[in-house]
Every structure is written in structure tokens, then in C-alpha cells.
Amino acid sequence: MDKVLDLVVSAILKYLPAMLANATPVFVRNGTPIDGGKYFIDGKRILGDGKTWEGLVIGLTFASIIGVAYYVFCEQVILLIYSIVLGLGALLGDIVAAFIKRRLGIPRGKPAPILDQINFILGSTFLAKFLRIDSAAGITITLAEFLLILIIASLLHVLTNFIAFKLGIKSVPW
């Protein structure tokens, strides 16, 4: 049991910058679209109005705040860089997912189950591993942590939707 708990804690701590970068842009109202309102060759929006510069800035800011906290606690500036990389990867993963959704004809804000929940995890893990920033920071992300955070993100998604439903923010509990 202790080992499982350790794994859960380490997975959440390692992915916290990505999770916050993914969750905080939702507070943006009427931001500036990253695609500049432009359309792709298929006649659909490149990304759509759900991906904004303001969202990027907010997401990166919160990832950095976590990074500063890690730096203060551990006195290692590479943990700040690690956090920024994870936040950036999360946001890029979300942007790539929006690009794919538009190509599939799914409008902005309409669900793409699984892709919507894991895009930021794929993006942050890819960028971290590509730059080898996790190993450089001495906190290598393991396969077990990666798989566990996929499960945690899916559970959090179900939980937050249910709470939003109970609060009357959403009309359906999923």
C-alpha cells in the first residue's frame, strides 16, 4: 500500500505543472485566438476560438508558480525549468488535439472523449522526454507514473464534471 501511495504522490508532483497549465486557461473569456481566426485548407478553423494567447500565458504562469515553489523547497533552479517545460508541453498537446479535432470536423468545445482528457499528458510527457528535462532534473518520469496519471486525469475529469453538474454549471453529469 505504501508503495502505491508513493507512486501516486510522485506521479502527481511530477505532473502538477502540466495539470495546472491544462486547467487554468478555462478562466479566459474572449481571448485572442492563436490561429488568428484563420481557416485551414479544408475550410475549417485551424484551431478555433478555444485556443488563445491569454490561455497560453495563464497556463504557463501557473506552471511557473509551481516551479518557483519547487525551487524554493528544493533549491534547484532546474525544477523551475522542468515545470515550465511540462506546462508548455501540456499546452502544446492541447493545441495539437484541437488541430486534430477540427480536421475531424469536431467543433470547438464539442467533446472528443479520451483525446480531451489525455492530450496534455501526452504533450507534456513527449516534450519532457524529448528534451530529457526530467532526467536532467533528477526526477525521471517512469512508465508507471505516466500510466497512473492517465488514470488520475480520467477520474478527475469524471469527478469535476459531476461536481459541475451538481452545482448547476453543467446540464448533464458527463
Q: What residues line the site for ligand CTP (CB under 6 A)?
A: 25-26, 28, 31, 48, 50-52, 54-56, 91, 94, 98, 101, 108-109
By C-alpha distance, which of 89, 91, 94, 87 is closest to 67? 87
Count of other CB atoms within 10 angstroms of residue 116:
16
31 or 67: whose CB is closer to ligand CTP?
31
Closest residue to ligand CTP, judged by C-beta, is 55
Q: Which helix (H) or strand (E) holds 135?
A: helix 133-136
Q: Residues 34-73, buried b or exposed e (16+ Cβ, 10 A)?
A: bbeeeeeeeebbbbbebbbeebbebbbebbbebbeebbee
Q: Which residues contact 129 (CB under 8 A, 6 or more apart)?
A: 141
79 or 91: whose CB is closer to ligand CTP?
91
Counting Cβ atoms within 10 Å, is residue 149 exposed (0-12), middle (13-18) or buried (19+)?
buried
26 or 169: whose CB is closer to ligand CTP?
26
8 or 112: whose CB is closer to ligand CTP?
112
d(CA 98, CA 109): 9
31 or 89: whose CB is closer to ligand CTP?
31
> CB of residue 22 vs ligand CTP: minimum separation in angstroms?
8
